[in-house]
Amino acid sequence: MSRLADALAQADRERSVTEQVVESFAAGEDPRFRLVMESLVRHLHGFIRDVRLTQAEWDASIAFLTRVGDITDERRQEFILLSDVLGASMMTVGVNSPARTEATESTVFGPFFVADAPAFEHGDDLSQGLSGRPCHVHGSVTSATGTPLLGARVEVWAADDEGFYDVQIEGTEFAGRGHLATDSNGEFSFWTVQPAPYPIPHDGPVGDLLTLARRSPMRPAHIHFMVTADGHEKLITHVFVAGDPWLESDAVFGVKESLILDFVEREPTSHGPHGRALEEPWSEVRFDIVLAEE
């Protein structure tokens, strides 16, 4: 009986701690704040009880999060990487972008977006010197009813053929990224470079986590898009290259079947899209985007 009594007393003591912490948020004026914090406490305490977290493990967890903060700066967001590899980013995308068969699917934002990227005109080359095979990207932005959306803002960012974004290349600014507006037919068109698969940064604490889990840091080749238009929900998504070997094991769980497209290889030509002369093979992809109404 003493063992049972001790177990019951331990359980009561643990529940008491949780209830005391939950109650400490009761005076908060914002009901949403109270709901989030109370749920966070209950789930966090439940996790600690479930795995019977040791003091050494708690210390290691705090040290890990401290390292995540220490390596984060204006060029690298390790907390977003951590959220990504734990699937928290995709879960947040999922609960905020419920499945709609008529709209283009969302996926993760990623850690390499830069605000205030330059504006480009249709047919311009966003790559600005990034290495890689020329790639022509074009498509349309429409509403769910098929109405072309004039003046939709199409923001794009992509890596070079070695998987590096401009923010990772010393001395490079605003390469492989920019924004343009759709025309009266809802169309957009630009040049960039053929995307390549690449590893997420794995020389820090998130990389150590992946190593312990024996997980790959690789992401399949993709181009990032963020599309906005009045009266419609913002879309954050990628377009992925069909046939990429990492589509089934994306380190951040961002691949969706509807976002996998063929990047068609083209032969050299003296008169490519927008009159561009191409002395080497190039590729082309069409990405038609449908925005959900607000």
d(CA 10, CA 109): 43
| Residue 77 within any structural domain of the chain | no
Q: Give the pLDDT confidence score for residue 292 in this predicted structure.
A: 93
pLDDT mean values, one per 10 residues, the chain (294 residues) = 77 91 96 97 97 98 98 89 95 83 90 89 92 96 96 96 85 87 97 94 96 97 97 96 97 96 96 92 97 91
Q: What sign has the CA pseudo-torsion 133, 172, 242, 120?
A: negative
Residue with tokens 């803002």: 153
Encode pLDDT of 106-119 as tens digits.
Answer: 999 987 888 889 99
Is residue 80 a contact partner of residue 89, using CB atoms and an 8 Å limit?
Answer: yes
Q: Are residues 87 and 200 in the same domain?
A: yes
pTM, rounded to two decimals: 0.88
Q: Please, which residues have CB within 8 angstroms of residue 146's CB and are 6 or more apart in sequence?
A: none
Q: Are residues 87 and 36 in the same domain?
A: no
| Residue 64 within any structural domain of the chain | no
Q: Please, which residues have CB within 8 angstroms of residue 262's CB and are 6 or more apart in sequence?
A: 242, 285
The string of DSSP codes covering 205-232 is: HHHHHHHHHT---EE--EEEEEEE-TTB
Q: Are residues 101 and 212 in the same domain?
A: yes
Residue with tokens 């009561």: 12
CA angle 182, 186, 191 (to 5 degrees): 50
d(CA 207, CA 213): 10
Q: Are residues 87 and 230 in the same domain?
A: yes
| Residue 62 within any structural domain of the chain | no
Whole-number CA gyration radius for the chain: 23
Q: Are residues 8 and 113 in the same domain?
A: no
What are the CA-CA distances from residue 83 to residues 63, 97, 98, 187 (Å)? Answer: 17, 17, 20, 34
d(CA 172, CA 226): 22
Question: Which runs of consecutive H residues, i.e. helices, occur in 100-259?
Answer: 205-213
Residue type at 248 in one-letter notation? E
Q: Give the pLDDT confidence score for residue 98 in this predicted structure.
A: 65
Q: Which domain covers residue 25, as residue numbers?
A: 2-53
Q: Give the pLDDT confidence score for residue 173 in this predicted structure.
A: 79
Last residue of a domain, one of 13, 38, 53: 53
Q: Give the pLDDT confidence score for residue 270 in this predicted structure.
A: 93
| Residue 94 within any structural domain of the chain | yes
Q: Are residues 48 and 90 in the same domain?
A: no
Q: Give the pLDDT confidence score for residue 169 in this predicted structure.
A: 81
Q: Give the pLDDT confidence score for residue 257 in this predicted structure.
A: 95
Q: Give the pLDDT confidence score for residue 224 in this predicted structure.
A: 97
| Residue 251 within any structural domain of the chain | yes
Q: Which residues pair with 138 in a beta bridge?
A: 189, 286
Q: Are residues 102 and 227 in the same domain?
A: yes
Q: Are residues 9 and 138 in the same domain?
A: no
| DSSP three-state, residue 204 | coil
Q: Give the pLDDT confidence score for residue 9 in this predicted structure.
A: 78
Q: Give the pLDDT confidence score for residue 2 in this predicted structure.
A: 79
Question: How many residues are listed for the chain in this entry?
Answer: 294
Q: Are residues 148 and 208 in the same domain?
A: yes
| Residue 63 within any structural domain of the chain | no
Domain count, the chain: 2
Cβ-based neighbour number of residue 124 at 10 Å? 17
Question: Which runs of consecutive H residues, i.e. helices, occur in the chain?
Answer: 2-23, 31-51, 55-71, 78-85, 88-96, 205-213
Q: Are residues 49 and 86 in the same domain?
A: no
CA angle 136, 140, 143 (to 5 degrees): 160
